[in-house]
Structure 1
Amino acid sequence: MRQWLSAGLLFLLSAVSAPCLAQSAPQWQLEKVVEIARHGVRPPVSWDRRAIEADTGRSWPRWSTPDGELTQHGRLAATIKGQLEGQHYRRLGLIDKDCPTARDVYIYASPLQRTRATADALSQGAFPGCQLQVHYQQSGNDPLFLTGSQRIPLDGTKAKAAVLQAMGGSVQAAQRRWQPEINRLARALCQQGRPCPLLSTPWALNVNHPGNVSVPALDHQAAAAETLRLAWSEGLPAAQVGFGSVRQQRDLTPLLELNSVKYRYSNDVPYIASRQGSRLLAQIIAALESERPSDVGQRWLLLVAHDNNIAYLRTLLRFHWQQADYPEGNIPPGASLVFERWRDNFSGKRYLRILFRTQRLTQIRHLTPLKSISDLLQTEYSQPGCRHTDAGILCPLDASLQTFSQRLDSEVLQPFSWPSS
C-alpha cells in the first residue's frame, strides 16, 4: 500500500510540474542576426563640398579629418551604439562574453575608409578588446555595396519613366511641390543680394550612359541638407553649421526634407532599387536561410555600407518608417537595418523580425551615454501574417524570404564569397 501511494504521489507531482516547467521555459530563442549599418559621421565628400561652395558662393568649414572620412566624433558615436547592441544580444543569449570567432561573428564593410572605420568602431563597442577583423574587398570593387550604374547598368528608358512616375509625371511640377523646402534651405545658406544657384537652378532629369538617371539641382540641394545634418551631428559649434543659420536642432530638422526627397526620386524607385539592391538582398536571404557549420557569421553577420544601400533594401522590403524629428524614411549616420531570426521553442517554427534602429540626433551630437537598447529609436517591420509577441513583431521566416526572393532582379545576381582576409 505504501509503495502504491508513493508511486501515485510521484505521478501527481510530475503531472503538476510538467506544465509549470513548460510555462517557465522561454518560448522564443534568437538564433541569428544580419545587420546592415550606415557609416558614421563624416565631413562632406569632396565633390559635394565643391558643388555646395559653388552654389552658395561660400567656403564651408574644414573638419578635423579629410573629406568623406569618419571623424573621431563619428567613431565614438558608433562605439556607443555597438556597445548597446553587444549588451543587448548577450542578454538575449545570441553571443557570450568571450571574444567570438569569424564563424560566430563576421564583419564585412564597404572598402571606403568611413565604412571600414565605422565597422571597427561598432566592433570595439560590441566586443571590447577583441580586435575582430573587418573584412572588405581589397580591390576596392565591391559587388554588394558599390553598385552604381557603371557596375550594374540601368535601362535608361525604363529608369526615366520610373522616376517620372514617382514625380507624378512632371519634373517641373515636382519642383513646384517642393519649392517651399528649397526656399527654406536657400534662406539658410545663400547670401542676400548675390546669385545662388542652390535656389535658382531648375530641376532637369538627366539620363547618362549607362542608364543613370539624376536630377543635378536636387542632388546639390540634398547634399547641402545632408552636410548640415552631418555638421550638427559632429557637434560643431552652431556658428559653423550653415554659417550660423542653425542655432538649435529645431532649426535643422525642416532643412533635412530635401534629402528624403532626393531618395524618393532615386533609390526609392522600385525599378532602380531592384537593379541596385538585389545582390545585397540575395546575400541577406541566403544568410538567414543557412545553417551550414562552414558559413561565416553564424550568429551575427554585421555589414557596414552606405545610406543608399539601406534605401534600396527598404524599397525592396516595402518597409516604411518615420522616427522622432527625422523626416520619413531618413537614414542617419550609424543607423542600421536589422534582420533577426527567431525560433519558437514550443513549435519549432522559425520567424523573422526586421527593424530599423538608430540614435537620436541629439544623442549623436552630444555623444549621450545610453543604458539600454530601448534608448535607441526602433521601428519594426510588419505585414499581413506577422504577429505581435514578447520578442517583437515576428513574421513567418520561409514565407517572408520567399516573398523577398520574388522581388530580386535575377539578371544582376552573381556568385559571391565572403572574403577570408
Structure 2
Amino acid sequence: MSARHMLWNSNCGLFLCKTFCVLFLLLCFEFRIVNPYKLDKVVIFSRHSVRTPSSYDLEHITPHKWPDWKEKPGTLTQNGHVLESYMGTYFRGWLSDTGLLPDSCPDEDLFYVYADLMQRTLASAEAFVRSAFPDCNIIIHSSDKKSHSVLRSHIHNSSDSFREIAIHEMKVKRNGLHLKKSYKKMESILKYQHSDRCKEDKKCDMASEKNVVKVKVGKKPKVKGPLQLCNEVTDTFLMEYYNGLARRKVAWGKISSKKDWHSILGLYAGYHDVVYNTTHVAKDIAKPIIMFMKPLFTNESPKVSLLMGHDSNINVLLKAMHFKNFVLNKSLLSVPIGGKIVFQKWYDVVKKDYFLKIQYVYQSTKQIRKMVVLSRDTPPQFSTLELKGCAANEEGYCPWDVFIKFLNDLYT
C-alpha cells in the first residue's frame, strides 16, 4: 500500500474517531439535559378504593330488586382491598427506583401515613401499606374521634354572613344545571313511575321536584331532593360495575354503553359540583386539610406522605387550590375511586433549584373492573395537573418557591 493511501486511511480513522467522541459527548450532554431532575419529596393525597354503595335505603324509588351486599354500606370490598394493594406495590417500586425510599423498611422520617377514621379509608391505607412494605411496622395515623379528623368534609365557619354567601353560591351552581334529559334517563332505568315514592308520595317527575340547599356548621353541606337521590343511585350503579357485577345485572342491564353512563353521570357530577365546588364552601372545608399538608411540603421529613381520604376532600382541594381544568382519560369520573393526586418535589441538578410537579395517578375503569395487576408493563394512568397560581413549563414543572408562596397566601 502506498504512503499516500496509508496517510488517507490514518486521517480518515482519526476523523471518524473524533466524530464518534463528539457525538458521544453530545448524547451524554443531551441525556443530562433531558433528565436533570432528582426526586426529593412526595405527598400523595388519595381517595379510598372500591367500596359498597353508600346507601342501601333505595327500595322506595324502584320496583326493581337491588343486589345484596355482604359488607355494610360504604365499606371497602375485597376487590377494593386488592386494587389498593396493587397501587401500593406499584408506588413502592417507583419510590425505590427513584432512590427516594430504601429497599428496607422506612421509618417515619421517610414514610408517614394519615387516614380518615372511616372503615374504607383505614382499610385502603392498610392495603396500600401492607403491599408496599410487607413485614414492616408502618403506623397508620388517624384522629381519635371522627369529629377531630382533618379529613371531615364539614362546615367550620359559624357566621351568618358565611352561611348566607355559601347558600347563595350553591344555589347559583344548582340553578345552572341542565339535567332534564338525565332525570328522564334515570326515571326510565328505575321505572320511577312504578315506585312507591311515585304511588304513595305522588313524586313522579324528578325534573319538577325541588332541590333544597342546606349549610350548617359542623355538618356536611347538602342538597336535599332528586339530585341527592340520583347521586346515591348513580353511586350504587358505579360500585356494582367496579366490583365486577355481571353487566346484565348492573342497573338491571339498563346501562350497556358509555353513552348510557354519561347520560346519568351528569347527575352525579352535578351533585358534587353544587355541594363541594363553590368558592366559600370549598375554601372552608379545605382549610384544615391544607394546613395539615403544609408541613409535609415544607419540612425536611417525612420524605413520602400518604393521606387517605374521600372524593369530597379531593373536590374541595381542587377548588380551593385553584387547579386548572383537566381531563382523565379512560375514567368515568373526574375524581376516580382509588385515584391519587401526587405532589412531587424535584431538584434540578443543572439549574440547582427545586420544582413542583403534580400528577393524577389512577386506575382506568377497565383496570378497576378487570382487576388488572399494575406493573411497569401495565402501569396505572397518569395525567399532569397544573395550579393557576404556579405556572408550569411544558414538562409540567413549576418553581417550588412559587408553590410555597402560593400555599402561604391561600389563607392570609
TM-score interval, normalised by the smaller of the two chains? 0.7 to 0.9
Once residues 74 and 191 of structure 2 are traced to their aligned partners in structure 1, the CA distance between those partners, rounded to angstroms, is: 23
User: Do the aligned partners of 2:364 and 2:380 also contact (CA within 8 Å) in 1?
Assistant: yes
Percent identity between matched residues is 21
1:264 aligned residue (245, 249, 273)? 273
**Which letter does structure 2 place at the counterpart of 1:108?**
Y
- Find the counterpart in structure 1 of residue 403 from structure 2: 400
Once residues 202 and 42 of structure 1 are traced to their aligned partners in structure 2, the CA distance between those partners, rounded to angstroms, is: 30
- Find the counterpart in structure 2 of residue 416 from structure 1: none
User: Do the aligned partners of 1:204 and 1:215 also contact (CA within 8 Å) in 2?
Assistant: yes
How many residues were matched structurally?
375
**Which letter does structure 2 place at the counterpart of 1:269?**
T
- Find the counterpart in structure 2 of residue 186 from structure 1: 187
Q: Which 5+ residue runs of structure 1 have no aligned equivalent?
A: 1-15, 411-421
- Find the counterpart in structure 1 of residue 133 from structure 2: 127
- Find the counterpart in structure 2 of residue 30 from structure 1: 39
**In the superposition, relative to structure 1, how do residues 20 and 180 fare at CA in structure 2: closer, same or farther (>3 Å)?**
closer
Matched, 1:323 2:324: no
Residue-by-residue CA offset, 1:376-415 (whole Å, 9 max, x unaligned)? 22221235632134xxx1111111222233223x6xxxxx
2:231 aligned residue (190, 207, 222)? 222
Once residues 166 and 140 of structure 1 are traced to their aligned partners in structure 2, the CA distance between those partners, rounded to angstroms, is: 29
Residue-by-residue CA offset, 1:41-77 (whole Å, 9 max, x unaligned)? 11122xx321x32333544222121111101111001
**Equivalent residue of 2:394, what SS?**
strand
Residue-by-residue CA offset, 1:91-114 (whole Å, 9 max, x unaligned)? 222112111112111111001111
Matched, 1:148 2:150: no
- Find the counterpart in structure 2 of residue 306 from structure 1: 310
Matched, 1:86 2:129: no
User: Do the aligned partners of 1:84 and 1:373 also contact (CA within 8 Å) in 2?
Assistant: no
Deviates more, 1:268-277 or 1:278-287: 278-287
Bigger Rg over Cα: 2
- Find the counterpart in structure 1 of residue 16 from structure 2: none
Deviates more, 1:189-198 or 1:394-403: 189-198
Alpha-carbon distance, 1:118 to partner: 0.2
Alpha-carbon distance, 1:82 to partner: 1.7
User: RMSD value over aligned CA atoms?
Assistant: 2.7
**In the superposition, relative to structure 1, how do residues 36 and 102 fare at CA in structure 2: closer, same or farther (>3 Å)?**
same
- Find the counterpart in structure 2 of residue 114 from structure 1: 120
User: Do the aligned partners of 1:110 and 1:142 also contact (CA within 8 Å) in 2?
Assistant: no
User: Do the aligned partners of 1:148 and 1:276 also contact (CA within 8 Å) in 2?
Assistant: yes
**Which letter does structure 1 place at the counterpart of 2:179?**
W
Once residues 108 and 352 of structure 1 are traced to their aligned partners in structure 2, the CA distance between those partners, rounded to angstroms, is: 22
1:74 aligned residue (77, 80, 84)? 80
**In the superposition, relative to structure 1, how do residues 209 and 24 fare at CA in structure 2: closer, same or farther (>3 Å)?**
closer
User: Do the aligned partners of 1:35 and 1:336 also contact (CA within 8 Å) in 2?
Assistant: yes
Deviates more, 1:304-313 or 1:84-93: 84-93
**Equivalent residue of 2:76, what SS?**
coil
2:366 aligned residue (362, 366, 375)? 362
Alpha-carbon distance, 1:131 to partner: 4.4
**In the superposition, relative to structure 1, how do residues 209 and 369 fare at CA in structure 2: closer, same or farther (>3 Å)?**
closer
User: Do the aligned partners of 2:116 and 2:149 also contact (CA within 8 Å) in 1?
Assistant: no
Matched, 1:104 2:110: yes
Deviates more, 1:194-203 or 1:301-310: 194-203
Q: Which 5+ residue runs of structure 2 have no aligned equivalent?
A: 1-21
**In the superposition, relative to structure 1, how do residues 253 and 99 fare at CA in structure 2: closer, same or farther (>3 Å)?**
farther
TM-score by length of 2: 0.83
- Find the counterpart in structure 1 of residue 170 from structure 2: 163
Alpha-carbon distance, 1:365 to partner: 0.9
Alpha-carbon distance, 1:256 to partner: 2.1
**Which letter does structure 1 place at the counterpart of 2:318?**
R
User: Do the aligned partners of 1:88 and 1:372 also contact (CA within 8 Å) in 2?
Assistant: no
User: Do the aligned partners of 1:334 and 1:358 also contact (CA within 8 Å) in 2?
Assistant: yes
TM-score by length of 1: 0.81
- Find the counterpart in structure 1 of residue 250 from structure 2: 241
**In the superposition, relative to structure 1, how do residues 123 and 399 fare at CA in structure 2: closer, same or farther (>3 Å)?**
same
**Equivalent residue of 1:80, what SS?**
helix
Once residues 73 and 370 of structure 1 are traced to their aligned partners in structure 2, the CA distance between those partners, rounded to angstroms, is: 14
**In the superposition, relative to structure 1, how do residues 289 and 18 fare at CA in structure 2: closer, same or farther (>3 Å)?**
farther
Once residues 377 and 328 of structure 2 are traced to their aligned partners in structure 1, the CA distance between those partners, rounded to angstroms, is: 15
Alpha-carbon distance, 1:216 to partner: 1.4
User: Do the aligned partners of 1:143 and 1:279 also contact (CA within 8 Å) in 2?
Assistant: no
**Equivalent residue of 2:112, what SS?**
strand
Once residues 331 and 143 of structure 1 are traced to their aligned partners in structure 2, the CA distance between those partners, rounded to angstroms, is: 21
Matched, 1:138 2:144: yes
**Equivalent residue of 1:304, what SS?**
strand
Alpha-carbon distance, 1:190 to partner: 2.6
**Equivalent residue of 1:342, what SS?**
strand
**Which letter does structure 2 place at the counterpart of 1:275?**
D
**Which letter does structure 1 place at the counterpart of 2:146?**
G
**In the superposition, relative to structure 1, how do residues 29 and 83 fare at CA in structure 2: closer, same or farther (>3 Å)?**
same
Once residues 165 and 193 of structure 1 are traced to their aligned partners in structure 2, the CA distance between those partners, rounded to angstroms, is: 33
Alpha-carbon distance, 1:165 to partner: 3.0
Once residues 143 and 71 of structure 1 are traced to their aligned partners in structure 2, the CA distance between those partners, rounded to angstroms, is: 23
Once residues 147 and 102 of structure 2 are traced to their aligned partners in structure 1, the CA distance between those partners, rounded to angstroms, is: 34
Alpha-carbon distance, 1:374 to partner: 7.2
User: Do the aligned partners of 2:185 and 2:264 also contact (CA within 8 Å) in 1?
Assistant: yes
**In the superposition, relative to structure 1, how do residues 143 and 65 fare at CA in structure 2: closer, same or farther (>3 Å)?**
closer
Once residues 101 and 305 of structure 2 are traced to their aligned partners in structure 1, the CA distance between those partners, rounded to angstroms, is: 12
**Equivalent residue of 1:242, what SS?**
helix
Once residues 386 and 282 of structure 1 are traced to their aligned partners in structure 2, the CA distance between those partners, rounded to angstroms, is: 23
1:334 aligned residue (306, 331, 338)? 338
**In the superposition, relative to structure 1, how do residues 254 and 377 fare at CA in structure 2: closer, same or farther (>3 Å)?**
farther
Once residues 42 and 398 of structure 1 are traced to their aligned partners in structure 2, the CA distance between those partners, rounded to angstroms, is: 38
